[in-house]
């Protein structure tokens, strides 16, 4: 399992030397909003403020995409990810694709 301290948005892992880049790892998840979620969010918009239903939906989607990316990286023999990013695209009304990607690397501790 890739440790959380071995995931960085930067292109280095402090305290580690990147021995080799394995390849780009990615995790993709496509989610749709349920009719109940749409109605609940519509009610929240009437009163304004944070849309907690959408916030939790998208946070779960990002987490799922990240877990898929990590699983792919581990399968490639990597023990770290550098340059990690998220991207999201609404591919149809109410259907969103969330992509998590980064460079899978093998790194060793400098200590």
The residue ranges of every structural domain in the chain are 4-32+63-109
Q: Over the stretch 51-97, which tens digit does the pLDDT of each residue have?
A: 566 677 788 899 999 999 999 999 999 999 999 999 998 888 778 89
For 4-32+63-109, CATH number?
3.30.110.70
**What is the DSSP code string of 9-21?**
SSSS-TTEEEEEE
Q: Over the stretch 17-49, which tens digit does the pLDDT of each residue have?
A: 999 999 999 999 998 765 555 555 555 555 556
* 50-57 long-range contacts, CB within 8 A, separation 24+: 57/31, 57/33
Is the pTM here over 0.75, yes or no?
A: yes
Q: Which value, to the nearest 10 degrees, does the dihedral of the CA atoms of residues 29, 35, 37, 43 take?
A: 150
């Amino acid at each position: 399992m890739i440790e959380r301290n071995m995931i960085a948005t930067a292109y280095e892992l402090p305290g580690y030397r990147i021995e080799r880049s394995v390849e780009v790892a990615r995790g993709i998840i496509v989610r749709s909003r349920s009719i109940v979620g749409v109605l609940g969010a519509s009610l929240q918009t009437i009163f304004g403020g944070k849309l907690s239903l959408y916030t939790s939906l998208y946070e779960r989607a990002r987490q799922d995409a990240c877990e898929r990316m990590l699983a792919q990286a581990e399968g490639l023999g990597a023990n770290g990810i550098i340059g990690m990013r998220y991207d999201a695209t609404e591919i149809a009304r109410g259907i969103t694709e969330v992509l998590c990607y980064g460079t899978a690397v093998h790194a060793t501790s400098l200590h």
